[in-house]
Amino acid sequence: MMQNDIQNIDSKGPGAASDTLLVAEELRKVYGERVALRKLSFTLTAGRVLGFLGPNGAGKTTSIRILTTMLEPTSGRFFVDGISSHYPERIRRKIGVLPEGLGFPKQINAIAYLTYFGQLYGRPAADAREVGLSLLDNVGLQNRAKSPIGSYSHGMRQRLGIARALVNDPRILFLDEPTLGLDPRGQHELLMLIQRLARERNMGVILSSHLLSEIEGICDDVVIMNAGQVVAHGTVAEVVGQTQLNANQRNAVRIRVPAILIGKAQAILEAVPDVKQVTPADAAAGWLVAEFSEPADGNGHSPEESHPANSLLQALIHAGIPIRGFEAAGGRLQDVFLELTAEVIQ
């Protein structure tokens, strides 16, 4: 009895009985001489979706495997809903995971599969089945509950994987590349489902993905990793804002015109005062990047003065060239991502 009490006290840490669901403190993983993860520290709060970004080999999957107790960190610790990483079995009761490339038995049907996993989490068979049915309804698979999993499309399997990850009503849901291999509609639907589940169930979601534009759309927070270390952490707006982009990016815009008119548009833009250079970014799609000179005071133009970007648009409109897209360079998560990951590689 006393030993149990000590264990309970010992296992409670940061995040216990609060909105903070996950606290990672200086997690490090070394394989032989290779450092796969260096000092990973971040927090996750309830009801929020955290995007876990990084190029291949950045340490995302290693981090997720450590946080889901599949790997032991070489050093550091973490707490899930106040439970210390020293109690992996208790942590597994609090988390749901959709690993990258999760396999499914092909012969059995979805409801039998979910019932089985519900039972592994300690539910009696009848209750596990009922929970399974409600989860299939949640993820939009209620009409295929009795179809063999082998007959499912990739998108349906991913949905089933999410349902499986929810059988224990987790506090945190880990999703490793859930949209990989899905068509654009499938990606969009799955991301909307993830966002809805996070809000409805007030759970924390950690979403690892390469799809930066989609991540930007549904994530509240982001952790950007590169070469095993965190290079940025915060809300999407904070990360985009805090990153020091170079002068060229601060003073550049991307403009999309019809591909057939790209040469003409380039010539027109180059003739605009303050424009340093215009280069095709993606000629086939009609994207041009126009860089203009930095204002002498370094603080931008005065309000009454026309911004060079406006002049660029005016020039194109005046020439009768249709503008199909316009965005400030460096204002997207993708730009920050490319900037940060390139810096560490260099």
Size of the site for other proteins (CB under 8 A): 41
What is the residue whose two structure tokens read 């194109």? Answer: 316
Please identify, using beta-carbon distances, which residue of 116 and 326 lies nearer to other proteins: 116
Contact between 247 and other proteins by CB under 8 A: the answer reads no
Contact between 152 and other proteins by CB under 8 A: the answer reads no
Please identify, using beta-carbon distances, which residue of 120 and 267 lies nearer to other proteins: 120
Contact between 122 and other proteins by CB under 8 A: the answer reads yes
Instruction: Choose, by CB under 8 A, the member of 16, 30, 102, 281 that binds other proteins.
Output: 102
Q: How far is the CB of 177 from other proteins (least distance, A)?
A: 13
Please identify, using beta-carbon distances, which residue of 59 and 330 lies nearer to other proteins: 59
**How far apart, in whole angstroms, are the C-alpha atoms of residue 290 and residue 280?**
9
What is the residue whose two structure tokens read 């068509």? Answer: 183
Contact between 38 and other proteins by CB under 8 A: the answer reads no
**How far separated are the first and last CA of the chain, in Å rounded?**
56
**How far apart, in whole angstroms, are the C-alpha atoms of residue 118 and residue 131?**
8
Instruction: Choose, by CB under 8 A, the member of 14, 28, 130, 147 that binds other proteins.
Output: 130
Contact between 71 and other proteins by CB under 8 A: the answer reads yes
Contact between 33 and other proteins by CB under 8 A: the answer reads no
Structure-token pair, residue 144: 């295929």
DSSP annotation of 314 reads H
Contact between 30 and other proteins by CB under 8 A: the answer reads no
Site for other proteins in 282-321 (CB under 8 A): none
Q: How far is the CB of 76 from other proteins (least distance, A)?
A: 19
Contact between 93 and other proteins by CB under 8 A: the answer reads yes
* Spatial CA neighbour of 207 closest among 233, 181, 156, 172: 172
* Spatial CA neighbour of 162 closest among 181, 144, 148, 175: 175
Instruction: Choose, by CB under 8 A, the member of 125, 237, 247, 317 that binds other proteins.
Output: 125
**How far apart, in whole angstroms, are the C-alpha atoms of residue 256 and residue 24?**
42
Site for other proteins in 168-207 (CB under 8 A): 168-169, 200-201
**How far apart, in whole angstroms, are the C-alpha atoms of residue 229 and residue 66?**
14
Structure-token pair, residue 145: 């509950």
Contact between 57 and other proteins by CB under 8 A: the answer reads no
Instruction: Choose, by CB under 8 A, the member of 21, 27, 97, 239 that binds other proteins.
Output: 97
- DSSP annotation string for 106-174: SSSBHHHHHHHHHHHTT--HHHHHHHHHHHHHHTT-GGGTTSBGGG--HHHHHHHHHHHHTTT--SEEE
Contact between 134 and other proteins by CB under 8 A: the answer reads yes
Q: How far is the CB of 178 from other proteins (least distance, A)?
A: 14
Q: How far is the CB of 296 from other proteins (least distance, A)?
A: 58
- DSSP annotation string for 189-250: HHHHHHHHHHHHHT-EEEEE-S-HHHHHHH-SEEEEEETTEEEEEEEHHHHHHHS---HHHH
Contact between 164 and other proteins by CB under 8 A: the answer reads yes
Enumerate binding residues for other proteins (CB under 8 A).
65, 68-71, 89-90, 92-93, 95, 97, 99, 101-105, 107, 116-125, 127-128, 130-131, 134-135, 137-138, 164, 168-169, 200-201
